[in-house]
Amino acid sequence: MAQWYPKKGRVIFHVDMNSFYASVEMAYDPSLKGKPLAIAGNPEERKGIVVTSSYEARAKGVKTTMQLWEARKLCPELIVLRPNFERYRTASKEMFQMLAAITPYVQPVSIDEGYMDVTGTEEHGSPIDIAQNLQQKISNELDLPCSIGIAPNKFLAKMASDMKKPMGITILRKRDIEEKLWPLPIEEMYGVGSKTAVKMRAIEIGTIGDLADGDAYQLKQLFGINGERLKNRANGMDERPVDPDAVNEFKSIGSSQTLPVDTTDEAEIRKLMHQLAENVERRMKRKQAAGRSIQIMIRYHDRTTVTRSKKLHDYIDKKDDILYAAEDLFQKHWNTEPIRLLGITVQDADEKQNIARQLDLFTYEKEAEKEKLYTAMDHLTQKYGENTFKQLRDDTDEQPRTSFQKDFLDDF
């Protein structure tokens, strides 16, 4: 057992649920198993977006973020379901409880993946025993598949979990990286996005091994401190601990959503901005936070994306303030071309208890008056539900948004 639990090193797991949303739907309705299934924001819309898909659908070429009409063209027999976020949230919480039963050192990074530090858990057996038992427990009790990477650090564990899907268990030691890691294309390295990969190929870095041998000075000139960090990772070096408290860290809180149809309709755009501001307010309330900068993201019909931000005079956390600042930015920077996606983010955020605000008497009185209104609204919300001041809508119509996984982390 001592060889598995080194005195100085760590044993890290990366647990990655396979095709999570689709797998949860299959567990809920076993008749879907073995069939090509996609989860999409709005199956009735021609321009719905694929959120995730089953492995049977992927085999036909269906990919995440693909337009639904394109997915159906590739796979005419594709079954399409709307996302059921509460169902996924419940399954995720149960999965993380299973991880926490093994070690207190669990770090969720999204709704369907997380790290575990199993160093010193000899009572549960060897790391491979723990991984096999955990994988089987998740499969037996939740009917969900997962892949587990086992390594001495987080980066290698993440790379290992991607090497065999679904239901894979892969061990990646530092002595294995020359054989298992370095031959992989640079695009497959965690932390290397498409734009970074293009720049790396331009300097003849085509594999992870090329990056490991790359010139540190050149990489730092091109990519800043991240170039040095990526080179270290390619060489199997990563000192980051598994930090259960990392889930509470934040510098920005945002929400974005793809429109069902590219649009220039200002009424439709304003309606979405109201919804996004409401999402951001809800997340800030959960974290008891406020922020002092606002950012908008506009993605146009041709996928061109612009982000614009500005520093605010004071901290904000309420929907009306968020919306006012975001709309001001939007009006200044929208080029009137059709919009595909919108996002609103409050930046420079911190917990209210950490924010030392210097309010003059006038500002304080204004805030106090507003606080009475907010207290009354909260009271009505508790009594009558979330939608006291707007028309009720069916939760099953909720569109997928990039902030959903962060919402889950708030709850965790």
Contact (Cβ atoms closer than 8 angstroms) between residue 17 and residue 23: yes
CA distance 276 to 403: 10
Only one residue has tokens 């080194």, namely 6
Which backbone phi and psi does 147 adopt, to 5 degrees?
-115, 145
407 annotated ligand-binding residue: no
Catalytic annotation, pick one of 113, 178, 239, 369 = 113
Exposed e or buried b per residue across 308-343, where buried means at least 16 C-beta atoms within 10 angstroms of its C-beta:
ebeebeebbbbbebbbebbbebbeeebeeeebbbbb
Instruction: Compute the chain's Rg from CA coordinates.
Output: 23
DSSP state of 250: -
Catalytic residue at 249? no
CA distance 192 to 155: 12
CA distance 55 to 24: 13
Report H helices in 104-176.
127-142, 154-161
According to DSSP, the residues that pair with 169 across neighbouring strands are 148
What are the E-state strand segments in 132-231? Answer: 146-151, 169-171
394 annotated ligand-binding residue: no
Spatial strand order in the sheet of 79-81? 50-53, 37-40, 79-81
According to DSSP, the residues that pair with 300 across neighbouring strands are 339
- Structure-token pair, residue 96: 């993380």
CA distance 177 to 244: 27
Which residues are annotated as part of the binding site?
A: 16, 112
Which residues have a catalytic role annotated? 113
Which residues are annotated as part of the binding site for Mg(2+)?
A: 16, 112
